[in-house]
A and B are shown apart, each in its own frame.
Chain A
Amino acid sequence: MSEKDGNGVSRRSFLAATGAVGVVGITGCLGGDTAITASGSNTVAPITQEAAESYQNTREDAFVDVSPEGTGAGFSDFCQGRSDIQSASRDITNDEIEDCDANGVDYSRYTVGLDGLAVVKNAENDWVDNITLDELRRIWEFESDVDRWSDVRDDWPDEEMSLTARDSASGTFDYFTENVVGERGDIRDDYSATSQTNEIMDAVASETHGFGWGGLGYAEAVIQDGGSLELVPVESDQDGEFYLPTEENVESGLYSPLARPLFFFVNHATLQDSPDLIGSFVRHYINNQDDFADAAGFFAAPDEEQNDNHGRFNEVLQSLGIEDEVSVEAQYY
């Protein structure tokens, strides 16, 4: 591990940078040499960042660089073998699997937490007590004919709704359209689309007829801050009752389909190259995943997921023959 010396790397990268064509091949994996690189989702980035800082506190020589380019862009890096850890707010797609296969990148997937998608209204809105999945679909589907509250339910007021939600670049958008509207990317084209979940919450909090959806952590931050915002109980596809995205409801699986699992993926090739550095980080991440998810404003994954993560990682280490080289032990509950 002594070749991970800062000066040596700087000199090499300097040569590459100044155009020494010969060292291009060697420096291709520079990022992986100096530190652990974590690409991927900007939703999951806070959890991975929590894990990274916690790991850096336990090991002076280790750095984890987290970059939040988004799940899709992150996978294109990860499947080129350019990152060690990939955070994802959705599962890997078939195209991405093919991409990874084509480049010979082996990987494994770990579930780190659950994200509740909150449906929000203004606090002065006293008519919406709950909402069904069918109503959500009718409001948000492409060429929706819903403009007024009375279009949704007859006894709601004849006032225009003001709709705000994420834009099509986000994994949250993909998830909502796929699981509520029915098809990924299928959405009405006359709502206010924004790339910042903060803006959704602020817009709904400042407009009596505001209505929208977005990550629960953002909604709760505004509510705690005294913003005029309330969560709407949503119909469950499990039992047809209405549930708020509380810790209990999300972790028991009743707040469905608006709770989604969050993942990270591990690149096996770079894991084998630096088994202790990367392997110990993965182990540290899984050991404390509930704390990290909680600190970043998400919910813990069910306990069996955590045990599955450890089991899966043990298998990976065994198949690579490096199970003795990882210094952090798994903690089972």
Chain B
Amino acid sequence: MTVEESENETILDRGVSYEDVRGRLFLAVCVAASFFGIAMLALLLWDVIATTYSAIFEFGVNPRDFLTQTSSRNVEKAGFYSAIVGSLWLMVIVSVIAFFVGVGTAVYLEEYAPDNRWTRLFEANLANLAGVPSVVYGLLVLGVVVNGAGIGPILLAGAVALALLIVPIIIVSSIEALRAVPDSVRQGSAAAGATKWQTIRNVVLPAAMPGIMTGTILALARAIGETAPLIMVGALFITTRTPGPFDRFGAMPTEIYTWAAQPERQFIAMAGFGILVLLVVLFSMQGLAVYVRRRYEVEFGE
């Protein structure tokens, strides 16, 4: 009896420790996987900050001049201001185009469209569209808008390319936000005598707006860092004057791209400074998205 018991125990022990090792191993792999992303982000930040440090302290780039001067081939006179303004204009126009097209499509698909094969095909294609490489949108706009419609490589054309790029993302996130509004809310509104339009305008859209805004801001944050479509559309070599919507333009990512490819080491250091500015804008937009979601989120509880 005692012999049997002790044998049982050793088998049990061995089993437990074997499973335990596998469990711990699995945990370690998961932790390593999650730390990989954090480590890469930390590495990136460290690299960007170190480059910015060398721009300011080794090459003597004055941060105030950097942020207030337009760019130039002369490294001493070059600044980031015109590129920042270019990017801001792009964001303003992109958000107007992409928000209305994106939310309009989402409202139609979720609230009006009949649930048939065509609608499902349409929605499946939206997901595909979100996966199209950004450079393709640049080529499309180059062919159709810049050369086809003949408006030339102006900032507005760049904004159209970026808007096309993020419209599918906004549609998908807006559809999710609209779906999160319970049907009981719509039925309540209808029962109170509201028309479909009144229901959407006064009940559904306000309830879904935090989700839609969050999705839109995150999509804009993606658009602001895009380089390839702008280069395809015809961004400038160096943005020597501050662009308006109908001028030839450069933006933050294209200016960084140009500087990083120059032989002068100071330009390369300044490209690092430019990346830091771009990252600050990016993180602020992400932060704004989180704030909007937290602040305006509506709970449909019991």
Contacts and interface: CB of A to CB of B under 8 A. Distances in A.
Interface of A: 9-10, 13-14, 16-17, 19, 24-25, 27-28, 30-31, 34-35, 37, 42, 45-46, 49-50, 52-53, 56, 63, 65-69, 80, 82, 196-198, 215, 217-218, 220-222, 224-225, 295-297
Contacts of B236: 65-67
- Point out which of A25, A35, A198 has the most chain B C-beta atoms below 10 A from its C-beta: A198
B246 A9 contact: yes
Contacts of A215: 263
A269 B192 CA distance: 69
B260 A196 contact: yes
A206 B260 CA distance: 18
B190 to A, nearest CB: 37
A28 B150 contact: yes
Nearest to B241: A63
Interface string B236-263: 1110110011111000000000101111
Contact of A198 (B151, B231, B268): B268
Contacts of A220: 263
- Point out which of B151, B238, B245 has the most chain A C-beta atoms below 10 A from its C-beta: B151
B225 interface: no
A198 B240 contact: no
Contacts of B147: 80, 82
B150 A198 contact: no
Interface stretch (B29-37, B152-160, B162-170, B205-213): B152-160
Interface residues of B, number: 32
B235 interface: yes
B151 A30 contact: yes
B241 A27 contact: no
B151 A27 contact: yes
B274 interface: no
A68 B258 contact: yes
- Point out which of A30, A37, A42, A68 has the most chain B C-beta atoms below 10 A from its C-beta: A68
Contacts of A197: 261, 263
Given A16-B151, A49-B73, A53-B74, A69 B234 contact: yes
30 contacts: A10-B244, A13-B154, A13-B156, A17-B149, A17-B151, A17-B156, A19-B149, A24-B149, A46-B73, A49-B238, A56-B240, A63-B241, A66-B237, A66-B238, A67-B235, A67-B236, A69-B231, A80-B147, A82-B147, A82-B152, A196-B261, A197-B263, A198-B261, A198-B263, A220-B263, A222-B265, A224-B265, A225-B265, A295-B73, A297-B264
Given A49-B73, A49-B238, A198-B260, A14 B153 contact: no
Interface of B: 72-74, 147, 149-154, 156, 231, 234-238, 240-241, 244-248, 258, 260-265, 268
A24 B73 contact: no
Contacts of A225: 265
Contacts of A16: 149-151
A169 to B, nearest CB: 12
Given A31-B153, A67-B153, 6 more contacts: A45-B237, A49-B73, A49-B240, A198-B260, A220-B263, A295-B74
A217 B267 CA distance: 13
Dominant secondary structure of chain B at its interface with chain A = loop
B237 A67 contact: yes
Contacts of B245: 10
- Point out which of A9, A13, A196 has the most chain B C-beta atoms below 10 A from its C-beta: A13
B248 A53 contact: no
A10 B246 contact: yes
A290 B51 CA distance: 33
Contacts of A13: 151-152, 154, 156, 246
Contacts of B246: 9-10, 13-14, 17
A17 B74 CA distance: 34
A27 B152 contact: yes
Contacts of A34: 247-248
A63 B249 CA distance: 12
- Point out which of B73, B247, B248, B268 has the most chain A C-beta atoms below 10 A from its C-beta: B73
Contacts of B265: 221-222, 224-225
A86 to B, nearest CB: 13
Contacts of A19: 149
Given A67-B236, A67-B248, A30 B150 contact: yes
- Point out which of B150, B244, B265 has the most chain A C-beta atoms below 10 A from its C-beta: B150
Nearest to A46: B73
